[in-house]
Amino acid sequence: MKKMLAVLLSVVLLAATGSSALADTDITLSAGAVGGSWYMYGALFNDLWTANIPGLNATLIAGAGNSNPYAVDNNESQLGFTYVHTARDAYNGQGVSAQPAENIRLLMNIRSIFYFTCMLDKSLGITSFDDIKEKKPALVCAVGAAGSGSEEVFRAVFEAHGITYEDIESWGGRIEYVGGGSGADLFRDGHVNVLSNAAPQPYSTWVEVAASRDVVLLPIDDTAADAMKELGYDVDTIDTTPYGDPTGMILSAGPTSILIVNKDVDEELVYQMTKLLYENFDNLIEIQSDLRGFDPENAANADIPLHPGAERYYREIGLIQE
């Protein structure tokens, strides 16, 4: 249904955008796991672009935050979703590969923040990281696919509180590297007692899972929040009540999503894609509310260079003035 609405939206917007025709061009956009937030964003964006840029053929494929910069760098995908800090590290050769991803450029900071959202089975009697360190329970944790943004956030938050994977295993627990859907099933069926993800708030899949079990959401503490900021994560509060935890607002942290593009993608094409996204973002939010964190004033900001096509558009509207 959302995709149908997106197609309808993009066709209606055709006359307003005035995009000029390009020669037939194929692009591939690397998102996240099928059915995840990035995948839904990618479907919306591709619908908007292909309906408004004659000659453009856009394909959406699954990907991951840590690998997408390298896929875009190698031109295996022309565009991809990743995080501000991940793109920065990859560009500078400090990411999962020592080879700098020098060919990646920023198209837009969409500022969709994927907050650490960690649910524990209430029967564990754990409500804080201090409880974990004191009681040393056997935590069986579904943390996301290995190397994914969700797994990276889980590892970073626990280490910021002085807890490593080795600690968890020494207490009789284990780490399950499974995607969100499989992790949710394992938690629902009682095979794991910790379910974690990095996601916009509230995360509907986790809300559905929590409806079947009594859960507690794990807050991060102030000291750990400072450590997460140093790593490049955003810190803010999230509401536990949609998950059936009456605590209310707790502190969390998460990475900010951006859209990157290979530097060799045609400048005029990137200009048109940037213009379409920026001028229609309010309409996209109506279809996909997870995008509501978008800040127009921050669209051109990240720790990697802008693509010339995106930069031309941002200068045209006065977002970049120097």
Q: What is the mean pLDDT of residues 77-99?
A: 92
Considering only residues 96 and 319, tell me which one the structure prediction assigns the higher pLDDT.
319
pLDDT bucket at 226, cuts 50 / 70 / 90: very high
Lowest mean pLDDT segment, chosen from 16-30, 72-86, 128-142, 271-285 = 16-30
What pLDDT is recorded for position 205? Answer: 86
Q: What is the mean pLDDT of residues 41-70?
A: 94
What pLDDT is recorded for position 194? Answer: 98
Lowest mean pLDDT segment, chosen from 1-15, 50-64, 150-164 = 1-15
Looking at the predicted structure, is the pLDDT value of residue 230 above 50? yes
Q: pLDDT tens-digit profile of 38-50?
A: 999 999 999 999 9
Looking at the predicted structure, is the pLDDT value of residue 192 above 90? yes
What pLDDT is recorded for position 21? Answer: 52
Q: pLDDT tens-digit profile of 96-128?
A: 888 899 999 999 999 888 899 999 999 999 999
Looking at the predicted structure, is the pLDDT value of residue 16 above 60? no
Q: pLDDT tens-digit profile of 260-283?
A: 999 999 999 999 999 999 999 999
Q: What is the mean pLDDT of residues 230-238?
A: 91
What pLDDT is recorded for position 150? Answer: 87
What pLDDT is recorded for position 3? Answer: 46
pLDDT bucket at 157, cuts 50 / 70 / 90: very high
pLDDT bucket at 6, cuts 50 / 70 / 90: very low
Q: What's the per-residue H, E or C state across the chain? A: CHHHHHHHHHHHHHHHHCCCCCCCEEEEEECCCCCCHHHHHHHHHHHHHHHHCCCEEEEEECCCCCCHHHHHHCCCCCEEEEEHHHHHHHHCCCCCCCCCCCCEEEEEEEEEECEEEEEEEHHHCCCCHHHHHHHCCCCEEECCCCCCHHHHHHHHHHHHCCCCHHHHHHCCCEEECCCHHHHHHHHHCCCCCEEEEEECCCCHHHHHHHCCCCEEECCCCHHHHHHHHHCCCEEEEEECHHHCCCCCEEEEEECEEEEEEECCCCHHHHHHHHHHHHHCHHHHHHHCHHHHHCCHHHCCCCCCCECHHHHHHHHHCCCCCC
Looking at the predicted structure, is the pLDDT value of residue 13 above 70? no
Q: pLDDT tens-digit profile of 161-185?
A: 999 999 999 999 999 999 888 899 9
pLDDT mean across residues, the chain: 90
What pLDDT is recorded for position 179? Answer: 81
What pLDDT is recorded for position 11? Answer: 42
pLDDT bucket at 12, cuts 50 / 70 / 90: very low
What pLDDT is recorded for position 147? Answer: 77
What pLDDT is recorded for position 4? Answer: 40
Looking at the predicted structure, is the pLDDT value of residue 67 above 60? yes
Q: pLDDT tens-digit profile of 278-312?
A: 999 999 999 988 898 899 999 999 999 999 999 99
What pLDDT is recorded for position 10? Answer: 44
